[in-house]
């Protein structure tokens, strides 16, 4: 049994990290502070990679 029953749900895992990256960028940007672009980029890429790999693993596995 898979923890994610449908591949569509795998995208939610990555979208959460992309949203965290957006907040991580927006708070200092609109607050007038220093924006950590490296951290924002890494969080966004992490979210994209997690969603993609979770989708590939769930979609490519047998449907038991």
User: What tens-digit pLDDT sequence spans the chain (64 residues)?
Assistant: 555 566 667 778 788 888 999 999 999 999 999 999 999 999 999 988 988 887 787 777 776 5
If phi over 0 gives left and psi between -120 and 50 gives alpha, with beta otherwise, what is residue 32?
left
Residue 54 located in a structural domain: yes
Residue 47 located in a structural domain: yes
Residue 17 located in a structural domain: yes
pTM: 0.72
| Angle at CA of residue 48, ends 43 and 51, nearest 5° | 120
Residue 25 located in a structural domain: yes
* pLDDT of the residue at 41: 94
* pLDDT of the residue at 32: 95
Residue 39 located in a structural domain: yes
Residue 33 located in a structural domain: yes
Residue 2 located in a structural domain: no
Question: Which residue range forms the structural domain that includes residue 22?
Answer: 7-60
* pLDDT of the residue at 28: 95
Q: How many domains does the chain have?
A: 1
* pLDDT of the residue at 30: 97
Residue 1 located in a structural domain: no
Cα–Cα distance, 16 to 34 (Å, whole number): 23
């Amino acid at each position: 049994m898979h923890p994610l029953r449908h591949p569509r749900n795998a995208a939610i895992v990555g979208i959460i990290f992309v949203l965290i990256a957006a907040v991580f960028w927006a708070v200092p940007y609109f607050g007038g502070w220093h924006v950590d672009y490296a951290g924002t980029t890494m969080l966004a890429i992490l979210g994209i990679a997690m969603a993609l790999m979770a989708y590939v693993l769930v979609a490519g596995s047998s449907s038991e």
